[in-house]
C-alpha cells in the first residue's frame, strides 16, 4: 500500500481551493503582533495632539471669551441669520461641521465645497481646502464677506454691526493696548483665539501615550490594516493629515473635474486637483466627506480613497475595521451617545 505524504500548507490551500493573497499573508503576520508591538510601530508614524496650538501663547481669557461670543454671533451676517457656528458647529458637542455636503449661506445659496471642521484647525499647515488662508485669523475674515456665505458687503459694515450690538467695551477689554480696539483684524484675531481652544482628546492619544488597553481588538486590527494598506503615506503625524497637499486621484482620476483645487490659488499646472489632506481626527463625526461632500459615509470614503490614492481594492471587512479604528479618533466629549431602546 502506497504511503500518503502530508501536504504542505500551500498545497493544502490549493487542494481545497483557497490561496492566500500576498495581502492576506501580510495581514496574517500583522495579526500576530501584540498591542505593544503595534504601539511601537504607531509611535514611529503618529504623535499625540499637542496641548496648545501655535499662537496661543498670546491669547488671554478676555480675547478668548470675545472670540467665542463672536463665533456664535449672527449679526455679522447680512440678514442676521448666520454665525460661524452655523456651518462649523461646536455646540452640543458636535464635530465642528454642519454635516452637509456643502453649506447653505445666509440667503439660501449653497457653497461649492464641504465645510472643514474647526476642531484642531489651528494645527493645520493652512486653512481652507486649497490652503488660501495661512492661519485661523486669515480664515475668519473670509466667510463673513463672502456673498454666498454670510454676505456682508464690507469690513466697515461688520464693525458697525458690532458697535450697534454693544461689542466696543468687549474689544477694549480684549485689546487693552490697541489705539483702536474694534477693528476687523482684531475681530478675526479674537475668533482665532477661541478656535485655538478647540483641541480634542481621544482614545488614540491615550494609546500613543502608552495605554495599550485604550483601543479594543477591532480598533487595533483597523490600525494594523490602516498602516499596512499605505493610508499613512498621507495620514500621519499628530493630525493624521492636515500637514500637506495631495492630488485628489493620484492613481485613478476622481470623477469631479469641476473643482481644480489649489490651482485656483497658485495658478500652477501641477496644482490642478490638488487639495489639503484632511485630518482624520474626529473623522467619524464630520461626514459627509471629500472637498465636495460626495462620499456620504465613512466606509464609502475609505473605499474610494484606497482606490483613488493607492490603487487598492479593499475588502469589506478591511474597510469596516479601518472605520472602527477611525472611530477611536473621536474626541471623548463628542462621542455620539448610544440611544436606549425605544428612544
Residue 163 and residue 169: Cα distance in Å, rounded? Answer: 9
Distances (CA, A) of 181 to 84, 139, 148, 153: 21, 20, 28, 21
Dmax over CA atoms of the chain, in Å, equals: 105
CA separation for the pair 87, 95 (Å, rounded): 11
Catalytic residue among 41, 65, 107, 149: 149
Cα of first residue to Cα of last residue in the chain, in angstroms, is 70
CB contact at 8 A, 295 and 301:
yes
> Which residue, 190, 142, 135, is CA-closest to 182?
190
Known catalytic residue: 149? yes
Please choose, from the candidates 243, 246, 247, 241, the residue with its C-alpha nearest in 3D space to the C-alpha of residue 126. 243
In this structure, what C-alpha cell is assigned to residue 156? 466697515
Cell 455646540, residue located: 91
Other C-beta atoms closer than 10 Å to the C-beta of 322 total 26
Cα torsion 121, 124, 129, 131: sign? positive
Query: H or E segment at 54?
Result: none
Residue 194's alpha-carbon distances to 40, 43, 61, in angstroms, are 35, 30, 9
62 phi/psi in degrees, rounded to 5? -65, -40
Rounded CA-CA distance 27/30 in Å is 5
Q: Which residues participate in catalysis according to the annotation? A: 149
Amino acid at each position: 500500500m502506497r504511503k500518503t505524504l502530508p501536504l504542505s500548507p500551500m498545497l493544502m490551500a490549493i487542494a481545497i481551493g483557497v490561496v492566500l493573497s500576498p495581502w492576506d499573508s501580510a495581514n496574517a503576520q500583522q495579526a500576530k503582533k501584540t498591542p505593544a508591538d503595534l504601539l511601537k510601530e504607531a509611535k514611529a508614524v503618529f504623535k499625540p495632539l499637542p496641548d496648545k496650538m501655535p499662537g496661543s501663547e498670546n491669547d488671554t481669557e478676555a480675547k478668548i471669551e470675545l472670540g467665542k461670543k463672536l463665533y456664535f454671533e449672527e449679526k455679522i451676517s447680512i440678514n442676521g441669520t448666520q454665525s460661524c457656528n452655523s456651518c462649523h458647529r461646536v455646540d452640543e458637542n458636535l464635530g465642528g461641521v454642519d454635516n452637509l455636503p456643502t453649506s447653505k449661506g445666509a440667503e439660501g445659496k449653497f457653497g461649492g465645497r464641504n465645510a472643514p471642521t474647526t476642531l484642531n484647525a489651528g494645527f493645520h499647515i493652512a486653512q481652507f481646502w486649497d490652503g488660501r488662508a495661512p492661519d485661523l485669523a486669515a480664515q475668519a475674515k473670509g466667510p463673513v464677506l463672502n456673498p454666498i456665505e454670510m454676505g456682508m458687503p464690507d469690513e466697515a459694515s461688520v464693525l458697525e454691526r458690532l458697535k450697534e450690538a454693544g461689542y466696543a467695551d468687549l474689544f477694549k477689554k480684549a485689546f487693552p493696548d490697541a489705539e483702536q480696539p474694534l477693528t476687523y483684524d482684531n475681530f478675526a484675531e479674537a475668533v482665532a483665539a477661541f478656535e485655538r481652544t478647540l483641541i480634542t482628546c481621544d482614545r488614540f492619544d491615550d494609546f500613543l501615550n502608552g495605554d495599550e488597553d485604550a483601543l479594543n481588538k477591532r480598533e487595533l486590527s483597523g490600525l494594523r490594516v490602516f498602516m499596512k494598506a499605505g493610508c499613512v503615506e498621507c495620514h500621519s503625524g499628530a493630525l493624521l493629515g492636515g500637514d500637506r497637499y495631495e492630488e485628489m486621484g493620484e492613481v485613478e482620476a476622481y470623477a469631479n473635474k469641476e473643482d481644480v483645487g489649489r490651482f485656483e490659488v497658485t495658478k500652477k499646472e501641477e496644482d490642478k486637483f490638488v487639495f489639503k489632506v484632511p485630518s482624520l481626527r474626529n473623522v467619524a463625526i464630520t461626514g459627509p466627506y471629500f472637498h465636495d461632500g460626495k462620499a456620504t459615509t465613512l466606509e464609502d470614503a475609505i473605499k474610494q480613497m484606497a482606490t483613488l490614492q493607492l490603487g487598492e481594492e479593499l475588502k469589506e471587512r478591511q474597510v469596516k475595521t479601518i472605520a472602527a479604528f477611525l472611530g477611536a479618533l473621536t474626541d471623548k466629549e463628542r462621542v455620539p451617545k448610544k440611544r436606549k431602546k425605544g428612544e
